[in-house]
C-alpha cells in the first residue's frame, strides 16, 4: 500500500515537459529585461536588472520548487546576455 501512495505522490509532483520548457523560456525572457537610464550630456548610464528581480521573485515564490538551481542559472545567464545585447528599454532625461 505504501508503494502505491508514494508512486501516486511522485506522479502528482512531476511537471509536463511543455510546462517546464515554458517556464525556462519565461525565465530567459524575464532575465534579459534591463532598464538603462542615461542623462543627456553625460556618459553616465545606470543599468537596473528589472527582469532579473522579477524572475527571482517568481522563482522563490513558486509552488513547485523542483529545479530552483537551474532556474537561477538560466536567469543569471539571460541577465548577462540582456546586459550585453543592444536591446531593452532606454530612458534618457
8-66 residue pLDDT tens: 555 555 668 888 888 899 999 998 988 888 887 777 888 889 999 999 998 888 776 66
Backbone dihedral region for residue 88 (phi beyond 0: left; psi -120 to 50: alpha; all else: beta): left
* pTM for this model (two decimals): 0.72
In a domain, 3, yes or no: no
Which residue range is the domain that position 79 belongs to? 15-92
In a domain, 42, yes or no: yes
Q: Is residue 43 part of a domain?
A: yes
Question: By the 8 A CB rule, do 32 and 79 touch?
Answer: yes
State how many domains the chain has: 1
38 is a domain residue:
yes
Amino acid at each position: 500500500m505504501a508503494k502505491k501512495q508514494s508512486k501516486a505522490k511522485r506522479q502528482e509532483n512531476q511537471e509536463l515537459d511543455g510546462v517546464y520548457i515554458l517556464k525556462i523560456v519565461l525565465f530567459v525572457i524575464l532575465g534579459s529585461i534591463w532598464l538603462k537610464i542615461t542623462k543627456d550630456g553625460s556618459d553616465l548610464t545606470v543599468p537596473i536588472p528589472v527582469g532579473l528581480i522579477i524572475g527571482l521573485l517568481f522563482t522563490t515564490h513558486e509552488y513547485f520548487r523542483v529545479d530552483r538551481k537551474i532556474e537561477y542559472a538560466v536567469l543569471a545567464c539571460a541577465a548577462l546576455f540582456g546586459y550585453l545585447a543592444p536591446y531593452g528599454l532606454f530612458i534618457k532625461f
